[in-house]
Amino acid sequence: MKPIFILNGPNLNLLGEREPEIYGGNTLATIEDALRNRAAALGVSIDFRQTNHEGVLIDQIQEARHAASGLILNAGAYTHTSVAIHDALRALSLPIIEVHLSNIYKREAFRHHSYVSPAATGVICGLGAQGYGLALDAVAEILKASAPINRSPHA
Ligand code: DQA
């Protein structure tokens, strides 16, 4: 099966150092490690990336069209600004889960609007690093439910 892409946008490389009271103490590398273990337990593979550049994120979302079986996206601040990311997501026919570590609805008003949500299958926010794991469970479950049943010819 194709990997599940887990894409992270701007400033998420600073997790652990940046506003830990909001984003928690986990680094992105720790989150990636935990997701690799969880993916192995679920029998799926992941392709985990981070970029600070909007165009690179769009290229990666476009790549997911043919190279991924599902997409987990924390677009960081581009969530609230990027029509281009919204458009790129609308070109996908994959399960898409939007993740935010913080509860964006509890924060400044400019974070209350997401250009990602209307293109997403589901949204998880406010659960910290745990949200990524829950998103992976959800994508694995959706893929399992949509997989063709492998019937033996002799059954
Ligand atoms: C974030 C929330 C965004 O508003 C913010 O710009 C981020 C991180 C989160 O994971 O909580 O960079 O996506």
Q: What is the pLDDT of residues 1-20, one digit of tens each?
A: 999 999 999 999 999 999 99
For 119, other C-beta atoms within 10 Å of its C-beta total 19
**Active-site option among 78, 100, 115, 132:** 100
**What pLDDT, on the 0 to 100 scale, is given for residue 148?**
78
Instruction: Give the list of residues 6+ apart from residue 108 with CB closer than 8 angstroms, or none.
Output: none
Nearest C-alpha to atom 6 of ligand 1 is from which residue?
A: 77
105: annotated active-site residue: no
Q: Report how far ligand 1's centroid is from the alpha carbon of 77 (Å).
A: 6
| Length in residues, the chain | 155
Q: Given the CA of residue 74, which atom of ligand 1 is nearest to it?
A: 13
Adjacent-strand bridge partners of 5: 47, 71
Residue 7 and residue 61 in contact, taking contact as beta carbons nearer than 8 Å? yes
**Measured on CA atoms in the order 34, 39, 45, 46, is the torsion positive or negative?**
negative
Q: Averaged over 14-39, what is the pLDDT?
A: 94
Question: Band of the pLDDT at 152, cuts 50, 70, 90?
Answer: low
Instruction: Point out the ligand 1 atom lying closest to the alpha carbon of residue 12.
Output: 12
- Measured by CA distance, the residue closest to atom 13 of ligand 1 is 76
Check if 26 has its Cβ closer than 6 Å to any atom of ligand 1. Answer: no
Phi and psi at 133, nearest 5°, equal -65, -40
pLDDT at 92 over 80: yes
Whether residue 153 has pLDDT greater than 90: no
Q: Which residue has the tokens 């609230």?
A: 80
pLDDT in tens, 131-149: 999 999 999 999 999 987 7
Residue 113 is a catalytic residue? no
Global pTM? 0.95
